[in-house]
Each structure stands twice: as C-alpha cells, then as structure tokens.
Amino acid sequence: MDNILLKEKEKKNKKLLKINKELQEKIKEVQTMNLILQRLDQVTTSKELFTALVNLSGEVTGCDEAHFCIYNREIRDITVIDSFFKDKNNKQLCTGNTETNIIDKVTDDGIPILMRENGGNGSIMAIPLKIRSRVFGALFSRTRNGGRYFTDKDLYFINFLTEKASFLIENLALYESIYENLFSTLYAFVETIEAKDPYTKQHSARVTSYAASIAKAIGCSQEEIDVLYVSGNLHDIGKIGIPDSILLKPGPLTDDEYEVIKKHPSIGSNIIGHFSMWSDEQKIIKHHHERWDGNGYPDRLKAEEIPFLSRILSVADVYDALTSDRSYRKRIHDDIAIKIIRENAGTQFDDRIVDVFLNLFG
C-alpha cells in the first residue's frame, strides 16, 4: 500500500515539475514579447527603428550578428541599412555569395529560412519584412561558432519582432513623408516672402545656421537642434500676413505700420499651431522678438520666461539683419554688428547666449 502511495506521489511531483517548467517558459515568452513591444514603442524615427530592430534581434536570440537589409533583385545587390555585432571588434559584412543567395530566396518566397552553416558550427536565420504582404527587405542574423544555434522559438520571436517593425516602418515612412512635404510647403512660403524683398533673400536659412552653431556650442540636444531647424527656417512665416506696402517700404515705418509688422510672430505661431507635432516650434516662433528686459513683443516676456531657443534665435536673427543689406540701409560691418550684440547683452539678449555667440563669431 505504502509503495503504491509513494509511486502516486512521485508521479504527481513529476507532473507538477513539468507544469512549473512550462509556466516558467511561458513567463519568459511573455517577458520577451513585452520587451520587444516596449522597445519599439520608444522609437520615433525610422533610423531609430532600424537600430532597435537589429539590436533587439541580437538581444533576444543571443546571435553574433544581425543585419537589416534592403535587396534589389534585378542587380542582386544587398544594401545593409543597420547592423548589430556582439563582438564590436569583429564586424563582418553580410554581402557575400551565401548571404545574397539566402536573402534572394527569402525575399522571393516571402518565407523565413532557418539553417545550419559552417560545417554545422553556426546557424543562419533570415526573415522577410513585408508591408501589405509585399516583401521590402530582410533581417539576416547569424550565430558563428560554439554550438549556439537558432531554435524554432528564436524564429517565433524574431517573426513577431519583424511583423511589428514592418508595421511601424510603414507608419513612420508615411509620417515622415508628410512631415517633409509639409515643411517644404511652408518653407516655400518663406522663400516667396524673401523673394519679394531682394534684401532678405536666404535670411531665414542664414539665421538657422547661426542659431544651430550657437545651440551646438551651448550643448543643446539633437532634438533641440531639430526644433531650431524648423523654427529658424519658418520664424518669419507670419510676414505672409503683412501687406507688401508695409513689408517692402523703403523708408522708415510710421508707428502704426510698425504695430502691423509686430504682428508677424503671432501670425506665424497661428499658422504653425495648426500642426500639433510642432507645438515647441510654435512657441519659439511666437517669442523670437521678445527681449531679455521684457520690452519685446508680442507678450513682453522677460528673461527666463522666454523660451531658451527663442533667445538663441533672437541673437542670430539680429546679427543677420545687421550684417546684410536692407532696403533702407547698407549692411553694417561684422565688427560693428558684433559690438552692437555685445552692448545689448543683458538688455535685449540673454548674456549667456551672447557670450557663446562672441566666442564663435566675435
């Protein structure tokens, strides 16, 4: 009787152990998928997505290398967009004959390939990336030596990853092309305004370049520099709402006319405000004529109340205006323009920004 009971107990224990093991595996699976989703969720540009794709592939499968490639079947040419290497000192291209044949097959059939190579010492996994069931590229990964092979589970995870990534690539590509189109359309308006007055040609482009140099020197992030690029190029877009008779007037302006000119930052900010992705840019454009001492326009903001990038833009804007010909006066010599900027530090401009400006241009 005791023997029978003992055997039953052992059987139950074994079953429990098996269930426990399965549960652990399931938990790991969910964690991996969660990691993939979380990581992809943080991506905001296609470039970041390509990097996340190859890095996740390396992290999830433990492979030695992973490449995201675009393949041109007509000329049998692989373009590697981004790569992951476990050993940073051993970076190898995946554009040889073996790779070309595998990627050719994967992109043709649209079905993943999992195989051993290197006399059974390593393995290869290649997965097609599709948008609306059309293959546009492949994720190629490899384990080199040491008896580590890709498993069905790896294939399952990487399939999950490439499916989500393909969907994101399509969305980002659409978004980026809309974004680019929108920016070029709005910039075309700026060029139209600048073309009306031969003296202001390329003013916005130059202001953006001065502002970007200051921003880099002061340690702004790439994100801030991107914001500055849009707001710098579009800072005077509001001039589209100012009558030509005032905008192009050769002589000095009357007080009333000056009041009209002063509306251009608000008009510009209203135009940009229609596009929700440019909320930072909108603020910067609105306040590019504020002064450090609070005597600027439109909101008479003071010191730190003025957005930091508007303060940079303001120095760049005035410097370019001084050093280029205007309809009502000749250009001022660089040395004198720099002197004017220096003299207005702490009143018109943020003196910290003027310091950086003087280091660069003074």
Residues 6+ apart with CB under 8 A from 67: 54, 80, 82, 83, 84, 94, 139, 140, 141
Note whether 64 binds Fe ion by CB under 5 A.
no
99 binds Fe ion (CB under 5 A): no
* Whether the Cβ atoms of residue 349 and residue 341 lie closer than 8 Å to each other: yes
Q: Are 311 and 211 in contact (CB under 8 A)?
A: no
Give the separation between CA 68 and CA 90, rounded to whole angstroms: 17
Say if CB 204 and CB 234 are below 8 A apart.
yes
For Fe ion (CB under 5 A), the number of binding residues is 1
Output the six-digit token pair for 6: 């003992």
Please identify, using beta-carbon distances, which residue of 224 and 317 lies nearer to Fe ion: 317
Q: How far is the CB of 204 from Fe ion (least distance, A)?
A: 9
Q: How far is the CB of 185 from Fe ion (least distance, A)?
A: 20
Q: Which is nearer to Fe ion, 237 or 356 (by Cβ)? A: 237
CB of 130 closer than 8 Å to CB of 166: yes
Residues 186-225, one symbol each (x = binds Fe ion by CB under 5 A, - = not), give ----------------------------------------
Q: Tell me the two tokens of residue 233.
A: 């190029």
Task: For the CB of residue 289, give the shortest distance to Fe ion in the complex, in Å.
Answer: 6
194 vs 224, which CB is nearer to Fe ion?
194
In 90-221, where does DSSP find H-type helix? 97-109, 152-196, 203-218
- With b meaning 16 or more CB within 10 Å and e meaning fewer, what string describes 86-124? eeeeeeeebeeeebbebbbebbeeeebbbeeeeeeebbb
- Beta strand 77-85 with 65-72: parallel, antiparallel or unpaired? antiparallel
Residue choice 99, 194, 224, 236 for contact with Fe ion (CB under 5 A): 236
- Stretch binding Fe ion (CB under 5 A), from 106-114, 169-177, 215-223, 232-240: 232-240
| Least CB distance to Fe ion at residue 201 (A) | 15
Nearer to Fe ion, 164 or 291 (CB): 291
Site mask, Fe ion, residues 304-323, x = CB under 5 A? --------------------
Minimum CB–partner distance for residue 202 and Fe ion (Å): 15
CB of 266 to Fe ion, least distance (A): 11
Q: What is the number of alpha carbons within 13 Å of residue 360 lying toward its C-beta? A: 20
| 142 vs 287, beta carbon nearer Fe ion | 287
* Least separation in angstroms between CB 139 and Fe ion: 48
Compare residues 164 and 206 and give the one whose CB is closer to Fe ion.
Answer: 206
| Residue nearest to Fe ion as judged by C-beta position | 236
Distances in Å between the Cα of 154 and the Cα atoms of 36, 63, 125, 165, 263 are: 13, 10, 9, 16, 60
Q: How far is the CB of 65 from Fe ion (least distance, A)?
A: 51
63 versus 193: smaller Cβ distance to Fe ion: 193
Site for Fe ion in 129-148 (CB under 5 A): none
Backbone dihedral region for residue 77 (phi beyond 0: left; psi -120 to 50: alpha; all else: beta): beta
Q: Which residues bind Fe ion (CB under 5 A)?
A: 236
